[in-house]
Amino acid sequence: MALVDLMEVNTRLYQQAVPPDWPGGFWWHWLFFAVVLIIFILIMVMAVIYIERRAMGRMQSRLGPNRTGPFGILQPVADAIKVLLKENIVPVNADKVVHWLAPVIAFVPALMIFAVVPFQNGALLADLNIGILYVVAISSVSTIGVFMAGWGSSNKYSLLGAMRNVAAVVSYEIPLVLAIVGIVLLTGSLSMNQIVLAQDIPFVLLQPLGFLLFFTAGCAEINRSPFDLMEADSELTAGFHTEYSGMKFAMFYLVEYAEAVAIAAIITTLFLSGWRGPALPPWLWFIIKVIIVFFLMVWTRTTLPRVRIDQLMSLAWKFLLPLAVINLVITAIEVLFLSALPWLIIIVNFAVAAVLVVMWSKLFFKLGWGRLEV
Amino acid sequence: MAIETREFTLKTEPFMLNFGPVHPSTHGVYRMRTTLDGEVVLDIEPVFGYLHRGIEKLAEQRTFTGFIPLTDRLDYISSMSNNMAYCMAVEKLAGITVPERAEHIRVILAELQRIANHLIANGSFLNDCGAYFTPFLYMFREREKILDLFEMVSGQRLTYNFMRIGGVSQDFPEEFMPALRIFLNQMPRFIDEYDRLLKENEILLARSRGVGILTQKAAVNCSISGPVLRSTGYQWDLRRADPYSIYDRFEFDIPVGIQGDCYDRFRVRMEEMRQSLRIIEQAVKDLPQGAVRAEVPHLVRPPVGEAYSHIESPKGELGFYLVSDGSIAPYRCHVRPTSLINLTALREMVRGWKVADLILIFGSIDICLGEVDR
């Protein structure tokens, strides 16, 4: 495997900073990718729902869905049909407009994230030169939809869940972005496609701590377990979508998994060298990696209990944020002085990640088992 | 220039939230009117009675024997213990001695029942903690084997109706002993597995250690019993304190907690399962031959008088108080319900904790609504 010369890659990227023309004209390009993306997301969501339920079943020593179709693969279809045929109930005291609008506002950003995710070299809706910034900006818009759902359904459980969600997203956005900045330092570009092109060595090796931080913060951002506080089923019945039924509930269900796929796709792009890989076609590599990352999320979900809201906050501010800042500083120094020696960077970064995580978790627990003094 | 300082105070007001009667974590139809300040629980007001069936009154219209099936419906996840407590009360009232073999069978089944109950208690405790059904289903896997054993002896899987006045309904079938032997060999390994998975889980420790502390004094004042009392460090177990049946012959330890928090209650139950296995081993070893039922007339007519008999049921002290007027039916039957009395300390325990802790503390008490409401 050839050693990557980071500085050389950086200069190459700067020269290519101007995006190419739209292949086949703008509108055709747009239409084609819009259709492909929506189909891709819907099929992916069904696939990951099936994978999650089967994998969880296996991990919990039960079978999981296995009745509809061979190995139960039609279960998501059956669920979708069931949900769509259900009656749409709107609570009497609900704010009708907000209640109706919330699923839409939550759903659209989850779709829009995929506009900048490359499926293979150059195969993406818009190769924005600020791609990753766009992702960060768009992904937090879903929160508004969730909060509208919590507020609009005039239910206290919903409101509690929505408040928790807002608090979690506001806190976890910061370590998330700081973890991304490490990547941007290495590539010198914000474009998702260029980030993939720069990964001759997957960045998970160059940025192990960044990967951990991004994975944790990403899980919290999309409310996957152990951070699934906003719909904590044992506490808040169903959290913000308690009062939703029928198609609107299906939208929220779709958002939940579309966001999970989106975070998995971004992790794939940023850390696991996106569509790159030997032998298989690039898009297949991309999907395989997305599913592997999603499987990691399922694994954590079946393994870990849920944290409490104050512990969630202190984890973000006392644990993830300092580590993200240290990671950023170390990466910056490495890019300055060690960019010709990627293997050294890998060794140093793994050592740093191990030491920091162990040290900080000790310190974290000295601070009172993650409890905030409020 | 004077700097104007203004105090920004956020005006908040407590609100009322109904937990239950239909809620995933109230373990039945229990209702808590909680007063919350944001996420913090200010006060709770328990509301009972949604499952009231008038079991104590029903006893007055049934014969002494005819009431046994109804005791199954008290704490329906440990029916064997209820059977045993009631039968012992009638035997005390009528002065019946139970054959040796029957006593051993009772002890074996009661201890199996204790393991089954603690499996459910710990499983649902972790479910309340937010571990998405994995520990719950792992524990159900072993409870299933106990239910298989119970099905062999009684033909039932939930409401056994197996014990009789003066003994048990029938002897063990011949396939029971080999199956019990297999279970006794397997179970310690499974308990070790739970310990490995859960004992030092950081999130579980952070969530449950130091949460919902019940002081020894408060526990005694509220006449709490069972694992909840022992978790405070108070070594009180009726099997030792007032040995009934043949418990004075067995060697076993009484596990106690340190400070009476949720984690201690969880650990005490875990250890009690080990001790129950020890008792079963000893009871199986010196299981005598002979009759399994004393010669008792079909319609028991105890002499005029009253009797109170209590046992250490899995949840705590379960007592039956019977008054006889010399007829075939009890004049008055009163149940000392473990769950209801253990619940009385809930208010003290949850004040000042968060909503998530409320659910956790409630789950750690391990109640059964069939027994609370009767």
- B242-253 per-position pLDDT tens digit: 888 888 888 888
CA distance B256 to B266: 11
Query: Which domain range does residue A115 map to?
Result: 6-15+93-366
Tell me whether residues B356 and A309 touch, CB distance under 8 A. Answer: yes
- A322-354 per-position pLDDT tens digit: 888 888 888 888 888 777 777 777 787 788 878
Phi (first) and psi of residue B165, to 5 degrees: -70, 120
| Token digits of residue A332 | 């910056």
Comparing CB atoms, the residue among B15, B138, B356 nearest residue A235 is B356
Q: Which residues are bridge partners to B16 per DSSP?
A: B35
CA distance A216 to A179: 11
Residue A24 has pLDDT above 50, yes or no: yes
For A2-17, give one letter per residue: b (16+ CB within 10 A) or e: eebebeebbeebeeee
From residue A146, alpha-carbon distances to A141, A163, B125 in Å are: 9, 9, 29
- Helix/strand/coil (H/E/C) assignment for every residue in chain A: CCCCCHHHHHHHHHHCCCCCCCCCCHHHHHHHHHHHHHHHHHHHHHHHHHHHHHHHHHHCCCCCCCCCCHHHCCHHHHHHHHHHHCCCCCCCCCCHHHHHHHHHHHHHHHHHHHHHCCCCCCCCCCCCCCHHHHHHHHHCCHHHHHHHHHHHCCCHHHHHHHHHHHHHHHHHHHHHHHHHHHHHHHHCCCCHHHHHHCCCCCHHHHCHHHHHHHHHHHHHHCCCCCCCHHHCHHHHCCHHHCCCCHHHHHHHHHHHHHHHHHHHHHHHHHHCCCCCCCCCCHHHHHHHHHHHHHHHHHHHHHHCCCCCHHHHHHHHHHHHHHHHHHHHHHHHHHHHHCCCCHHHHHHHHHHHHHHHHHHHHHHHHHCCCCCCCC
| Chain B residues near residue A307 by CB distance under 8 angstroms | 130, 203, 206-207
- A49-97 per-position pLDDT tens digit: 898 888 888 888 888 888 887 888 888 888 888 888 888 888 888 888 8
From residue A367, alpha-carbon distances to A306, B261, B305 in Å are: 20, 20, 62
Higher pLDDT, A345 or B50: B50
Residues across chain A: 374
Structural domains in chain B? 58-373 (1.10.645.10)
- Helix/strand/coil (H/E/C) assignment for every residue in B12-69: CCCEEEEECCCCCCCCCCCEEEEEEECCEEEEEEEECCCCCCCHHHHHHCCCCHHHHH
CA distance A326 to A334: 12
CA-based nearest residue to B278, from B311, B239, B315, B317: B239
Q: Could you count the other beta carbons within 10 Å of the beta carbon of residue A317? A: 15
CA distance A129 to B349: 56
| Token digits of residue B258 | 């340190």
SS3 B100: helix
| Chain B residues near residue A236 by CB distance under 8 angstroms | 355
| Token digits of residue B136 | 């719950």
CA distance B61 to A323: 70
Q: What is the pLDDT of residue A365?
A: 59
From residue B71, alpha-carbon distances to A339, B85, B163, B269, B302 in Å are: 76, 9, 11, 24, 19
Mean pLDDT of chain A: 80
| Chain A residues near residue B354 by CB distance under 8 angstroms | 308-310
Tell me whether residues B24 and A369 touch, CB distance under 8 A. Answer: no
* Residue A168 included in any domain: yes
CA distance B283 to B247: 10
Q: Are residues A131 and A113 in contact, defined by beta-carbon separation less than 8 angstroms?
A: no
Residue B57 has pLDDT above 60, yes or no: yes
* Residue A165 included in any domain: yes
CA distance A142 to B356: 24
SS3 B329: coil
Q: Are residues B158 and B79 in contact, defined by beta-carbon separation less than 8 angstroms?
A: yes
Q: Are residues B137 and A61 in contact, defined by beta-carbon separation less than 8 angstroms?
A: yes
CA distance B329 to A229: 53
Closest-approach residue (CA) in chain A for B363: A234
For A258-287, give one letter per residue: b (16+ CB within 10 A) or e: bbbbbbbbbbbbbbbbbbbbeeeebeebbb
CA B307-B310-B314 angle, to 5 degrees, is 160
Q: What is the pLDDT of residue B285?
A: 87
Residue A1 has pLDDT above 50, yes or no: no
Confidence of residue A37 (pLDDT cuts 50, 70, 90): confident
Instruction: For tokens 């076993």, name the residue.
Output: B252
| Token digits of residue A323 | 């580590």
Residue B294 has pLDDT above 50, yes or no: yes
CA distance B42 to B26: 19
Chains A–B, number of C-beta pairs less than 8 Å apart? 84
Tell me whether residues A305 and B201 touch, CB distance under 8 A. Answer: yes
Confidence of residue B6 (pLDDT cuts 50, 70, 90): low
Share of chain B above pLDDT 90, in %: 4
* Residue A46 included in any domain: no
Q: Span B90-96, mean pLDDT? A: 88
| Token digits of residue A293 | 């990352």
From residue B279, alpha-carbon distances to B56, B121, B254, B361 in Å are: 32, 20, 12, 29
Interface predicted TM-score (ipTM) over 0.85: no
CA distance B354 to B369: 23
Q: Which residues are bridge partners to B35 per DSSP?
A: B16, B43
Q: What is the pLDDT of residue A191?
A: 82
Confidence of residue A38 (pLDDT cuts 50, 70, 90): confident
What is the distance in angstroms between the Cα of A327 and the nearest Cα belonging to chain B? 24
Residue A373 has pLDDT above 50, yes or no: no
Say which residues have a Cβ less than 8 Å from residue A209's Cβ, sequence separation at least 6.
Answer: A323, A327, A349, A352, A353, A356, A357
**Which DSSP string corresponds to B249-289?**
GS-------SS--HHHHHHHHHHHHHHHHHHHHHHHHT---
Q: Span B300-326, mean pLDDT? A: 88
Residue B60 has pLDDT above 80, yes or no: yes
From residue B347, alpha-carbon distances to B19, B285, B318 in Å are: 14, 45, 22
Tell me whether residues B24 and A237 touch, CB distance under 8 A. Answer: yes
Q: Are residues A240 and A165 in contact, defined by beta-carbon separation less than 8 angstroms?
A: yes
Interface of B with A (CB under 8 A): 15, 17, 23-25, 38-39, 126-134, 137-138, 141, 201, 203-207, 209-210, 354-357, 359
Q: Are residues A2 and A187 in contact, defined by beta-carbon separation less than 8 angstroms?
A: no
Residue A2 has pLDDT above 50, yes or no: no
* Residue A125 included in any domain: yes
Tell me whether residues B137 and A232 touch, CB distance under 8 A. Answer: no
Tell me whether residues A61 and B141 touch, CB distance under 8 A. Answer: yes
Q: Are residues B30 and B369 in contact, defined by beta-carbon separation less than 8 angstroms?
A: yes
User: Do β-strands B163-164 and B330-336 pair in parallel, antiparallel, or remain unpaired?
Assistant: unpaired
AA identity, residue B127: N
What is the distance in angstroms between the Cα of A305 and the nearest Cα belonging to chain B? 4
Number of structural domains (chain A) is 1
What is the distance in angstroms between the Cα of A350 and the nearest Cα belonging to chain B? 23
Q: Which residues are bridge partners to B37 per DSSP?
A: B40
Outline where chain B has alpha helix (H).
Answer: 55-60, 68-72, 79-94, 100-129, 134-154, 176-198, 202-208, 216-221, 227-230, 238-241, 262-285, 338-343, 346-350, 355-365, 369-373
| Chain B residues near residue A163 by CB distance under 8 angstroms | 38
For A31-46, give one letter per residue: b (16+ CB within 10 A) or e: eebeeebeebbeebbb
CA-based nearest residue to B177, from B289, B98, B73: B289
Residue B144 has pLDDT above 60, yes or no: yes
CA distance B232 to B254: 13
Q: Which residues are bridge partners to B47 per DSSP?
A: B31
Confidence of residue A12 (pLDDT cuts 50, 70, 90): low
* Residue A197 included in any domain: yes
